[in-house]
Structure 1
Amino acid sequence: MLYHIVIGLLAVVFSLTAAASRPQFYTAAVYDHAITFNTYKATNRSAALAIMSKNLDILEVQMTEAKLQGADIFVFPEYGLYGSLDGRASASMFSEFIPEPSIVTPYCPSLNSSIPAGPEVLYRLSSLARANQMYLAVNMADQQPCLGKHFYCPSNGHYQYNTEVVFNRKGCLIAKYHKRNLFEVEKLMWDVPEVEYSYFDTEFGRFGLMVCFDAVFKEPAITLVEDYGVTDVIFSTAWMNVYPHYLSVAYHSGWARNLGVNFLASNIHYPKGRLVGSGIYGPEGVIEFVFNTTKQFGTLLVAEVPVVQKLEAFAEHSESRVSVQLPFQNKTFSLEIFGDLFTFTALTGLSGNVALSHGEVHCNLDFTRTSTADEYALGAFDGMHTLEGEYYFEICLLVRCTDNYTDCNTLVTNETVTEFTFFSLFGSMQTQYVFPEVVTPDTNFTTDWIFTKEGRENKITGKNKMISSAVLMGRNFDKDPFRRQLTINEIALTIFDDEPGTTPAAGAQHRIDICLLFYGVILLLAIQKRIIY
């Protein structure tokens, strides 16, 4: 008995000592990258390397500056090495074989005395991590050979993936992740992998990897936090902003707040394409950010990040239905936002309590304001989003409208005179995954408001604030349709009915490439027409 008591006390002492020895903060750096493009001019590997070298030179300069500011970890954006691609052949020129990380036999290419032919980019990244003594996360293209166990092989003889890699302070590869959730146009370039749960441990937390569109879905993002104990997220992205509920800084910081993690988001800076907004976020909201739609140069963000003390996995809430008694619902109108038909009701008077329901989403707004000169409305949506994929939204939002309430999805960045001396946006939904967002007319995302949640009930509360939008952005993963993502070669086999394990004929493959390229152009045109920044 005494033996067990002593062992138990020693375990407690050891645990407390370990906790005391852990740092309370670490320093993170993310880069909002104004990319060097010219991708379409690359017709061979040498040309591709020349383009990537220009972006790697920028990365080197920024890492040197980050080191001077004491950075422990550095994140570079999705497509940050090469920019846009125009098909599978183009992506292949920018790809390298990336080995699996191994503790037993570490892959540390910068320890070689000369630059090897083939993994030139891996060598450069390894060298930068080692020279600056920091963790480095970069998005690149992975090329993997076909193995006998595979049912089919793509027409160019290998698989290629949109991939996140991480090197440690010694320049050794410690993590690799193949992006699972591809945006529709990306399927022209990349194969779809099985779901991967990739993470790595540091002295200041467990970091999980996800890329761009992954943040919209449950796998692997939510599971990394709930089941694998991830406390910090590495997020490389090429995020195209959609107002009012998909602005980069607002959505990503809301994701961090709901899941209780640190979130390091590095985005491409390309205002012409609505790709702006990078930041460092934590469980309490925004720590550091940049969101600039006018400047043409990149921005380095460096901030001290509190270490998340995560003792257990994300707690699962009760699945019971929520029944809420709300005030009388005012007269409503409907408007389309990002392809979804929202129900709205206009705010009237200097103060009030407004209720609105759509399906099983129940919204309520309690407010006082200084003026009625600006048009504001409470909106709700409960349904399947279908514009560029299928996934289920549950949303409550307060938004500024224009043109006599005919436009509620244009970000108005000036001429706002109304100040909300108090506002409380409440949402009762059927999902626990609700990401809070508040956007001001000057796009300052500083977290000077309160987010609370209890079960399926969520609330944003603030005061003395000018508002463009306040959003409770819910994602109901249980209502998402089954997503069977086909690779390009699987599509080819389906269309042309080739025998399993064979490569489509050259003529057939050419027709497939033309069809897919045409489909991608049509999709992009549709998005350009229907999304308003």
Structure 2
Amino acid sequence: MDICRRKGKGGCIGWRPTPPTADYYIGAVVEFPARTVTGAASTEQRIQQFGSLLEKAAIRPDIAVFPENVLNSRTNPIVIPTPGEQVVPCGADVQYDYIISEISCYARSMRLYVLINVAEIQNCTQSHNIEDLVANCAIYNTNVVFDRGGAVISRYRKYNLIGSEWLYFNYTTQSEAEAIFQTDFNVTFGHFTRMDLLYARPAQALVQKGITDFLHPSKWQSELPFMTAIQLHQSWAYSNNVNLLVAGTNDPRNGRSGTGIYAGKYGTLIASMTTDEQKSKLHFSVVPKYGVSSKRVFESFQLNRANSTAPERTTAETSGVLDRFTGVVLTRDSGIDLYVTQPLVDEMSTNVPLQQQLCHNDLCCDFYIERHANPLSNATTTSYYYRLAAYRGMGTFLNTEPAAVGVCAIFACVGDHIYTCGRIYEESVQVVPKHIFDVVRISGNFTRQSANLLTPTSVDSLLMPLPADAFEWQVAECSNASLANLTLVQPRSDILTFGIYANYFLDDTIYDYHKKNAAGTFGFTLWLILMGFLMQFTF
């Protein structure tokens, strides 16, 4: 592999792009601080910092992904060249915004593909009044891709808006067509933004078109038990068996952190959650091309896996106190209060396996659990409680967006009531598990009344998903149902969530934001938020 090992003033010395015949490419994702009131004025400094991260890197990537909403906002949107015109903004006669021209120059001078996310404006008369901009202009949450020559080759305008975005942003009408581009290292990429990951368009539609590699600028707000950032990103990539490169915005006080690179069935290649609001870092990984043996790729080039900032794990069996990550403010899915659940009681004999079935509507979940007592736990130590859960019906994504879901899972609680589930103990609390799970087997019959994506979902006390070799996953297709089976094959004492999550994509003819008035949609979103808030006080 022709990968830079020496650095000079201009970055890598003797580096050459990955050839199209290689069975890998080098991917990079940038985690970066969120924009603030003061940070909004420092776009130039942010772009220079981005350039510095690339220049100082010991490895030159083929492609780099920048996070969502860190360069500008809807109050200062910019014009983006049309991709079909192959415009190179760097040094162009036509003056482009600083963001576009500078990123174009970095892409050209460092010979790499770059994706950034910006607020874009189109069809607009000059105005400095934000109300005028919203009323008279088309403003988009937009991904922009530059090739190695600095040309704009792809522009995707976000399709699935969330909450108040409907009041300020427009959405694309050609989501799949916009979100594809080809590279000179023989990989075709799809790309989308944040909530797009959870919908049939464009993300799942691109998978169905045969796209195997995806870029995802994100500003994800983590939610327990099923939607913390790394957990969700690994499960989506794993279930679709695709590569996914996610660049996350760091704003841990508002629950936002999560950057990683995922290689389908091989699981997480690199992942990072941070408590540092000012952290900026470029993460690298060799990414195997679709259908290539991961082992062969990594044997030919042993990437320094220490680049991953996932915390070191120690087991409760040896240390007693559970290693935990509590530095990101987590939200809780209030919809789980409606699930059919059963507590996993501590008093039951741990020498006898638990076998239990829970059903809700047309979904039945079967649980088989073997566990043994942790000798380091006693009456004075604090431990998590657990519940088995089954659910098939309407829910929400992040307590705001309506969703149809099916769930068979076990998840942690801080008390013996369902309201305490989906929460973690505060940082000051030392947690010692009462039990070690030896085997957990969960199965469910998920009807196929509509299109859906079945995923194995897991998250541990460090807010990381279980590695791909820690579980087995099978799905058998029957005439009108998918029979899913998830098995924990490595003993664990640090589980917060382990289960099967089905996302039933809502049929556009039944519910489609894009056919609704923006104000009416926002009103419905506020209603969902209010109902979720009130639900917390009804149990």
Give the shorter-chain TM-score range: 0.7 to 0.9
Deviations 1:24-53 (A, max 9, x none): 1111111121234226x9xxxxxx6x4322
User: Which letter does structure 2 place at the counterpart of 1:396?
Assistant: C
The 1:225/1:426 distance shift into structure 2, 3 A limit, reads: same
Is the Cα contact below 8 Å between 1:96 and 1:119 reproduced in 2? yes
Q: 1:354 aligns with which of 343, 353, 356?
A: 356
Question: Is 1:109 aligned with 2:89?
Answer: yes
Where does residue 276 of structure 1 map in the other structure?
257
- Contact 1:394–1:475 (Cα < 8 Å) also in 2: yes
1:132 counterpart (81, 97, 110):
110
Question: Secondary structure at the residue paired with 2:513?
Answer: coil
**Does structure 1 residue 451 correspond to structure 2 residue 473?**
yes
| Structure 2 residue corresponding to 1:382, chosen from 388, 392, 413 | 392
1:405 and 2:405 are equivalent in the alignment: no
Distance in 2 (CA, whole Å) between partners of 1:127 and 1:530 is 52
Structure-2 separation of matches of 1:395 and 1:59: 40
Cα deviation, residue 465, structure 1: 1.5
Cα distance change of structure 1 residues 486 and 21 upon mapping to structure 2, 3 Å threshold: closer
* Cα separation, 2, equivalents of 1:54 and 1:527: 40
Distance 1:106 1:204 in 2: 19
Evaluate the alpha carbon distance shift between residue 167 and residue 526 of structure 1 in structure 2; reply closer, same or farther with a 3 A threshold: farther
**1:71 equivalent in alignment to 2:97:** no
Gap change, CA 1:526 and 1:111, over 3 Å in 2: farther
Measured after TM superposition, the shift of residue 294 of structure 1 is 5.8
Aligned counterpart for 2:340 among listed residues 339, 343, 366 = 343
Q: How does 1:51-66 map to 2 (within 5 A)?
A: 51-66=42-57
Map 1:501-512; keep pairs closer than 5 Å: none
Instruction: Give 3-state SS (helix, strand or coil) of 2:22's partner.
Output: coil
Q: Structure 1 residue 92: deviation in Å? A: 4.2
* Correspondence 1:470 to 2:450: no
- Superposition deviation, residue 156 in structure 1: 4.3
CA contact (8 A) 2:89 2:96 kept: no
For residue 520 of structure 1, report the CA deviation from its aligned partner: 8.6
Q: Residues 170 and 117 (structure 1 numbering): CA distance in 2 closer, same or farther, change over 3 Å?
A: closer
Letter in 1 for 2:446: M
User: 2:455 is matched with which residue: 400, 412, 435?
Assistant: 435
CA–CA separation in structure 2 for the residues paired with 1:524 and 1:271: 21
1:207-238 CA deviation, whole Å, 9 max, x = no partner?
A: 101100111110111111102x2111111111
Q: Is the 8 A contact 1:268 1:275 kept in 2?
A: yes
1:96 counterpart SS class: coil
Query: Which of 496, 513, 516 lines up with 1:484 in the alignment?
Result: 513
Question: 3-state SS of the aligned residue for 2:45?
Answer: helix
Are the equivalent residues in 1 in contact too, given 2:54–2:60 (CA < 8 A)? no
Q: Distance in 1 between the 2:507 and 2:71 partners? A: 36
**Alignment RMSD, CA only?**
3.1
The alpha carbon displacement at 1:189 in A equals 2.1
Query: Residue 325 of structure 1 corresponds to which residue in structure 2?
Result: none
Gaps of 5+ in 1: 1-19, 42-47, 86-90, 148-152, 311-335, 496-515
* Residue among 151, 156, 162 paired with 1:177: 156
Number of the residue aligned with 1:415: 431
Residues 347 and 354 of structure 1 are in contact (CA less than 8 Å); yes or no, is this contact kept in structure 2? no
Structure 2: stretches of 5+ with no match in the other structure: 1-18, 126-131, 293-331, 375-382
Letter in 1 for 2:64: F
Query: How big is each residue's C-alpha offset from its partner over 1:405-459, in whole Å with a ceiling of 9 and x where there is no partner?
Result: 3411113585142321122222221255112221112334333322222221222
> Within 5 A, what are the aligned runs for 1:6-21?
none
Paired residues, number: 436
Whole-Å Cα distance in 1 between the matches of residues 408 and 56 of structure 2?
41
Q: Distance in 1 between matches of 2:110 and 2:200?
A: 34
C-alpha contact 2:231 2:464 (8 A) present in aligned 1: no
Partner of 1:327: none
| TM-score (norm: length of structure 1) | 0.75
Matches within 5 A, 1:18-417: 22-38=21-37, 50-66=41-57, 68-82=58-72, 91-93=74-76, 95-102=77-84, 105-112=85-92, 117-145=95-123, 156-197=135-176, 198-202=179-183, 203-227=185-209, 229-284=210-265, 285-293=267-275, 296-309=278-291, 337-340=333-336, 341-348=338-345, 349=348, 350=350, 351-371=353-373, 374-386=384-396, 387-406=399-418, 407-412=420-425, 415-417=431-433
* C-alpha distance in structure 1 between counterparts of 2:518 and 2:230, whole Å: 36
CA distance in 2, matches of 1:457, 1:210: 30
Question: Taking structure 1 as reference, are residues 72 and 447 closer, same or farther at Cα in structure 2, changes over 3 Å only?
Answer: same
CA distance in 2, matches of 1:278, 1:526: 31
The 3 A distance-change label for structure 1 pair 77 and 528 is farther
Instruction: After superposition, give the CA deviation of every residue in 1:286-338 in whole Å (9 maximum; x if it has no partner).
Output: 1110123466523332111111139xxxxxxxxxxxxxxxxxxxxxxxxx943
How far apart in 2 are the matches of 1:472 and 1:388?
Answer: 22
CA contact (8 A) 1:165 1:173 kept: yes
TM-score (norm 2): 0.74
Alignment deviations for residues 56-114 of structure 1 (CA, whole Å, 9 cap, x no partner):
12221222244x313111111110213xx5xxxxx142x12212212xx411111437x
Q: Deviations over 1:143-174 (max 9, x none)?
A: 11179xxxxx9764320100001111111111
* Contact kept? 2:65, 2:245, Cα under 8 Å: yes
CA distances 1:265-292 after superposition (whole Å, capped 9, x unpaired): 1111111000011110111211110123
Aligned-residue sequence identity (percent) comes to 23
Distance 2:110 2:241 in 1: 30
Shifted more, 385-394 versus 229-238: the winner is: 385-394
Contact kept? 2:62, 2:112, Cα under 8 Å: yes
Q: Secondary structure at the match of 1:109?
A: coil
